[in-house]
Amino acid sequence: MGVSLAAAVLAIVLLPVPGLAWGHHNQPPPAERAPRGPHGPRNTPLRQQLGPAPLEQLRRMSPEERQRFLDGLPPRQRANIERRLRNYENLSPQEQQRLQRAYDRFRQLPPEQQNAIRQGFRGFAQLPPDRRQALREEMRNLRSMTPADRRKRMASREFQNQYTPEERQIMDQMTQLAPNR
């Protein structure tokens, strides 16, 4: 799977989906529930609204449960989630399996490392298109390396001169899920 596809698909899983933390089968006691607005919990920190595996929660819902959940979202957020689900469902079974393995590795990481990876995705999304393309190509190369070779490449003078400190940090964060070759 190409880096751009991998990044896009991993973003489907890693980016927050508000309202899924307390999925249909995991409701907190009424006393713990936040007051509800027309589109979900009100005045609840986003982190508390997130589920451990939002895409998985949506995929496991029956079509009726999914529809009820989506109907309760603001139109823009609903369209974003529906697009992310379609993107995932359009992947080949092999690509879905690779994504699942990456997500399983992500979930095994300590919270600090998970947050670092999320920060990498956010930083990457903020880059201009030409720099994103340059980083995609470099990350494709880095992900094909062993961890030792990856460290050596990232410590090289060429690498240091080619990328800004922020870009190097983004790539370091985003390649943490690369399989050990």
Residue-wise pLDDT tens digits, 27-74: 333 333 334 444 444 433 323 333 556 667 787 788 898 888 888 888
- Provide the pLDDT for residue 94: 92
Q: What is the domain range of residue 62?
A: 3-89
Domain end among 22, 56, 89: 89
**CA–CA distance from 169 to each of 16, 121, 135, 173 (Å)?**
22, 11, 11, 6
Tell me how crowded residue 154 is: count the other CB atoms within 10 A of its CB.
17
Is the domain of 15 the same as that of 73? Answer: yes
Is the domain of 9 the same as that of 85? Answer: yes
User: Model-level pTM?
Assistant: 0.59
Report residue 37: phi and psi, to 5°.
Answer: -100, -170
Is the domain of 36 the same as that of 84? Answer: yes
Residue-wise pLDDT tens digits, 117-135: 899 989 999 999 999 999 9
Report the distance separating Cα 175 and Cα 4, nearest Å. 13
Is the domain of 53 the same as that of 18? Answer: yes
Domain end among 60, 89, 118: 89
How many structural domains comprise the chain?
A: 2
3-state secondary structure of 28: coil
Is the domain of 84 the same as that of 8? Answer: yes
Does the residue 98 lie in any domain?
no
Is the domain of 120 the same as that of 80? Answer: no
3-state secondary structure of 36: strand
Is the domain of 15 the same as that of 84? Answer: yes
